[in-house]
Amino acid sequence: MIIHPELRALRGDDAPQRDAQTGLYRAVAAWKSKAEFQKVSAELDLLNAGEDLANCDALSAIFTQNSAAARELCTTFVTQGAAALGSAPLGHIPLRHSTDGCTSTLLLGRSGRVTLSLVALDGIEMTRRPRPKNVSFGPNETWEFFLAGTGVAELVSCTPSGPRSAVLERREIPIRAGTLLARHGQRESRLLRDLGTTLVSLRLQRRSVHNEPTREYDLSSGELVHQAAGNPRDSRIELMMAMLGRMRRSDAAPAMAGIALGEGSTALRWQALRECLALDTLEGFQALSRVAAATGDPLAAPAGALRAQLVEMHPQLQELAPCLA
């Protein structure tokens, strides 16, 4: 195994690396403590609480066509961060980051369902990748301010035409430093191509508080090809219910019935009904009967059908909660 001498030295004495990390923590903390970022950070909280972007002075100044504020905020960050990394090349900037060789992101700030990220796309790497066949529409709002680079954005608008199809309309706009793209994720998505070299943007995104799923459509036909939970909470609860179900924890059945009768997404509520029925027939069947009887509930029809099917298979269930059905 070949280990670089600098890394080998760190295995015996990690003090230089700890010092380097301390330097990077300080550099980022110093930038975050500046008044400009403090204002932005406070407004991320406001946006998370539901405020309109237009009522957030600092953020709306940043996310405006040809904004100078965005460039100022990022230039300070990049200058200080690059200087700190220059003296500690093995260090990590203490911010959440990711890269797949084409797209790199750095999370500059976050408040609940709102994120502020610096994003860089490698245009050369992008040309090596297949063009997307599908396009996704998620329950969020996104504002992208392009700081450097050029490219073409293909904006795809989505108008559902049935439960499993949508009319997708495409239009192209050129991107250059100073361009702002703002969109509602469920109505519009964007694809990028023909990037010059590296395209850098500052991205603000707010996830919806509602329970709509993210929908992925085939670009050429508009056919729905995949659907995913629109928020991490639903998936977390679903996984917890699956585990409790496999553990045969029937004491969890009342909580599952509560979820089935609650305000969550239809996918989560249906999964709660299934797990509840499998754990505790009485609790599950009562919840199923209540959902089936709820006027206007999108699950009323499938719940009614499942209830009828279960009663046919197990006639004794008819005696349970007859007044609710």
Place of tokens 């670089």: 4
Q: Which of 286, 273, 279 is nearest to 317 (CA)?
A: 286
106, 256, 267, 287: which one binds other proteins (CB under 8 A): 267
CA 256, distance to chain mean position in Å, is 25
What's the closest the beta carbon of residue 107 comes to other proteins, in angstroms?
9
What's the closest the beta carbon of residue 86 comes to other proteins, in angstroms?
26
Transcribe 207-253 into DSSP letters. Answer: E-SS-PPEEEEETTT-BEEEEE-SSHHHHHHHHHHHHHHHTT-GGGH
- Taking the C-alpha atoms of residue 154 and residue 67, their distance in angstroms, rounded to an integer, is 22
Number of CB atoms found within 10 A of residue 133's CB? 9
Question: Binding of other proteins at residue 185 (CB under 8 A)?
Answer: yes
Helix H or strand E segment including 200: strand 198-207
- Taking the C-alpha atoms of residue 112 and residue 49, their distance in angstroms, rounded to an integer, is 9
Query: Which stretch, 51-59, 76-84, 87-95, 311-319, contacts other proteins (CB under 8 A)?
Result: 311-319
100, 172, 251, 312: which one binds other proteins (CB under 8 A): 100
Nearer to other proteins, 84 or 280 (CB): 280
Q: Which residues between 129 and 158 bind other proteins (CB under 8 A)?
A: 129-134, 136, 138, 140, 142
CA distances in angstroms from 71 to 80, 141, 148, 171, 271, listed in the order given: 14, 22, 9, 27, 47
46, 78, 182, 224: which one binds other proteins (CB under 8 A): 224
CA 22, distance to chain mean position in Å, is 31
What's the closest the beta carbon of residue 5 comes to other proteins, in angstroms?
14
Question: Binding of other proteins at residue 245 (CB under 8 A)?
Answer: yes
Number of chain positions touching other proteins (CB under 8 A): 73
What's the closest the beta carbon of residue 59 comes to other proteins, in angstroms?
16
Q: Which of 211, 163, 169 is nearest to 189 (CA)?
A: 169
Nearer to other proteins, 27 or 289 (CB): 289
Question: Binding of other proteins at residue 235 (CB under 8 A)?
Answer: yes
CB 204 within 8 A of CB 171: no
Q: Which two tokens stand for residue 70?
A: 């965005």
10 Å CB burial of residue 158 (0-12, 13-18, 19+) is buried
Question: Binding of other proteins at residue 164 (CB under 8 A)?
Answer: yes
Question: Binding of other proteins at residue 5 (CB under 8 A)?
Answer: no
For residues 68 to 87, the per-residue mask of contacts with other proteins, x marking binding by CB under 8 A and - elsewhere, is --------------------
What's the closest the beta carbon of residue 171 comes to other proteins, in angstroms?
17
Q: Which residues between 49 and 68 bind other proteins (CB under 8 A)?
A: none
Q: Which residues between 10 and 39 bind other proteins (CB under 8 A)?
A: 11-12, 14
